[in-house]
Structure 1
Amino acid sequence: MSAVGKRFAIVASRWNEFVVSRLVEGARDELTRYGASHVEVHIVPGSWEIPVAVRALLTRTEPDPLDAIIAVGCILQGATAHAQLLAADVSRALMDLQMEFGKPVSWGILTPQCESQALERAGMKMGNKGREAALAAIEMANFDPRP
């Protein structure tokens, strides 16, 4: 698997930056490790805004089109259903964009119960989900539907 010659973007939320910055770092490191020389990072206010930014990146023609996009964020659970609704809507929007444009949009958005779970998944005990999302993006950027 290689990212050489491929163009990637990371779209990250500013909300819960103490976690998201680690996800961005993990994704960027993994892309570089696999040979990517073009990695853009775009910061948006929160996870709700990620699909709008992804759509803008998928529709742009200059410079060259991207091969894959990695969405990273952290939606912490609270006392209400807000986090579940937000995560479901963002997930559906990103899936719809993948299907509409035929370009991979990798999911690196955490939905933990608490800050400690978020940090565990951003490079502590449970690995780095940004890194894992980057690996999925690299693999899908190289996907060949031919047998």
Structure 2
Amino acid sequence: MVNLGFVIAEFNRDLTYMMEKLAEEHAQFLGANVVCKVMVPGSFDMPLAIKTLLKKDNIDAVVTIGCVIEGDTEHDEIVVQNAARKIADLSLEFEKPVALGISGPGMTRMQAEDRIDYGKSAVEAAVKMVKRINDIKNSN
């Protein structure tokens, strides 16, 4: 069984709540365990929580859940680009999957509502990657 940690942004919580619930349901459907959930203020704040979870022996992968909606400036792009880069760096550093379930940047609130399945997709990616990395490690 795959053990997942969730890192969930509180910003736009009405949307990340729906993303979280779909992600939990999909994890259960796939036979994965959500062993830990960490709430962070926003997507930009995720890397430290991700790193802390990746250090735990009982976490096979981390799923990020966040929603960054376009504003009047390019702030949304900066947030998502930096979060995504650091998330990828942490995955490589700890050799564990970290799935990107952050919707945005450059989307309206209506588009964000249409993309609440990003958390579900991130769970799918995390579980697949754990299994595939284990297959590689166990192959001759």
Q: TM-score, normalised by structure 2?
A: 0.91
* Shift in Å, 1:54: 0.1
**2:120 pairs with one of 131, 134, 138:** 131
For the residues of structure 1 that align with 2:68 and 2:53, how far apart are their CA atoms? 22
Query: What amino acid does structure 1 have at the position aligned with 2:87?
Result: L
* Shift in Å, 1:19: 0.6
* Shift in Å, 1:41: 1.6
Q: Report which stretch shifted further, 99-108 or 28-37.
A: 28-37
Which residue of structure 2 aligns with residue 119 of structure 1? 113
Which residue of structure 1 aligns with residue 84 of structure 2? 91
Secondary structure of 1:142's partner?
helix
Which residue of structure 1 aligns with residue 131 of structure 2? 142
Q: TM-score, normalised by structure 1?
A: 0.87
Secondary structure of 1:136's partner?
helix
Q: Calculate the aligned-residue CA RMSD, in Å.
A: 1.3
Alignment of 1:45 onto 2:41: yes
Which residue of structure 1 aligns with residue 17 of structure 2? 21
* Shift in Å, 1:65: 2.7
Q: Which runs of 4+ in 1 moved over 3 A?
A: none
Which residue of structure 2 aligns with residue 103 of structure 1? 96
Query: What amino acid does structure 1 have at the position aligned with 2:128?
Result: E
For the residues of structure 1 that align with 2:23 and 2:47, how far apart are their CA atoms? 18
CA contact (8 A) 1:28 1:39 kept: no
Which residue of structure 2 aligns with residue 35 of structure 1? 31
Which residue of structure 1 aligns with residue 64 of structure 2? 71
For the residues of structure 2 that align with 1:89 and 1:38, how far apart are their CA atoms? 26
For the residues of structure 2 that align with 1:104 and 1:142, how far apart are their CA atoms? 10
User: In the comparison of the two structures, how many residue pairs are matched?
Assistant: 135
From the two aligned structures, give the one with the greater helix fraction. Answer: 2
Secondary structure of 2:101's partner?
strand
For the residues of structure 1 that align with 2:76 and 2:13, how far apart are their CA atoms? 17
* Shift in Å, 1:38: 4.2
Unaligned runs of 5+ in 2: none
Question: Which whole-Å deviations, capped at 9, do the CAs of 1:52-75 have from their partners, x for residues lacking one?
Answer: 100111123xxx431111001011
Question: Which whole-Å deviations, capped at 9, do the CAs of 1:9-42 have from their partners, x for residues lacking one?
Answer: 1100000001101111111111101112443221
